[in-house]
């Protein structure tokens, strides 16, 4: 959980190189990491999002935050450092509309497993696990994808992706602006 007041940072948009490569593992657990997580929560809130990966504010680090309801409606507010995504074995896909702060103004149907969980550590290097159902399951998968350099539009057919990105380029940025 956030322990300091964070400062909202601008959201990076599709096309920024930091969004399209695997993020670096976090190896130092210090005040700078604590401030990063606080800034991520503040940035996510300013952009009215439910999840945010570090590279979405231009930081090359395997960290994400969520403030998202699970399948039962219970709100989960958490952060994960160096997350590892775990998906169910016999995975049927639920198709639902998905959007992204880094691709503002557009949404598309994406198929994802109905459940997932992540393991990783917290700000202090202590083990954490977040189990997700409903929107939280999607959020865990979406943010884990970000840290691997993949955005939800990259999962779409090329023609659909091109149309969405063209529409998104016309949309105003979300959150704070530089």
Active-site residue identified among 25, 34, 48, 143: 143
Q: Is 46 helix (H, G, I), strand (E, B) or coil?
A: helix
Instruction: Please state, in angstroms and as integers, the Cα–Cα distance from residue 61 to each residue in 16, 107, 164, following that order.
Output: 15, 26, 27
Phi and psi based region of residue 105 (left: phi greater than 0; alpha: psi -120 to 50; beta: remaining): left
- Which of 108, 139, 159, 153 has its CA nearest to residue 13? 153
- Which of 120, 102, 114, 8 has its CA nearest to residue 64? 120
Whether 143 is a known active-site residue: answer yes
Supply the residues annotated as catalytic: 143
């Amino acid at each position: 959980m956030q322990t300091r007041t964070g400062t909202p940072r601008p959201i990076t948009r599709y096309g920024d190189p930091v969004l399209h490569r695997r993020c670096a593992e976090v190896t130092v657990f210090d005040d700078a990491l604590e401030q990063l997580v606080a800034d991520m929560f503040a940035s996510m809130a300013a952009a009215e999002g439910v999840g945010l990966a570090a590279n979405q504010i231009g930081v090359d680090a395997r960290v994400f935050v969520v403030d998202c309801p699970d399948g039962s409606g219970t709100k989960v507010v958490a952060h994960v450092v160096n997350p590892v995504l775990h998906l169910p074995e016999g995975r049927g896909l639920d198709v639902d509309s998905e959007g992204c702060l880094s691709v503002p103004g557009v949404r598309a149907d994406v198929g994802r497993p109905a459940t997932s969980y992540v393991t990783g550590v917290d700000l202090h290097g202590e083990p954490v696990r977040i189990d997700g159902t409903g929107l939280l399951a999607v959020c865990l998968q979406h943010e884990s994808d970000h840290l691997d350099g993949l955005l939800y539009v990259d999962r779409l057919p090329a023609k659909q992706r091109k149309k969405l990105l063209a529409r998104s380029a016309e949309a105003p940025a979300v959150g704070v602006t530089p």
